[in-house]
Amino acid sequence: MVFIFKLLLVVLLLFIIVNLARAMFEMVKGPRSDLEDETHQDKPMSFYLGKRVFLSALAVILLIAALLSGLIEPNARPY
């Protein structure tokens, strides 16, 4: 069960990185002409950043829920 939870967190972190990269590519693109805007229906950068924030919040909520339920235990001495 712990392995599945850790795998889920790793997948969430990968999705967070992917959405951050997609937002970066949208930001780096230059201004498009009106003709290109009609043919390409790209999503705005804020869409990908919003997904990243949602997935980050979901990861934190899952970590807190796992800590409270006893599924994972915090390290008492991290050094």
Domain-by-domain residue ranges, the chain? Answer: 2-26+42-69
Model confidence, pTM? 0.77
Query: Given this model, what pLDDT does residue 38 score?
Result: 58
Do 52 and 23 form a contact (C-beta atoms < 8 A)? yes
* Exposure b/e, 17-55, CB count within 10 A at least 16 = b: eebeebbeebeeeeeeeeeeeeeeeeeebeebbebbeeb
Query: Given this model, what pLDDT does residue 55 score?
Result: 95
Query: Given this model, what pLDDT does residue 60 score?
Result: 96
pLDDT in tens, 4-63: 999 999 999 999 999 999 989 888 886 665 555 555 667 888 898 999 999 999 999 999
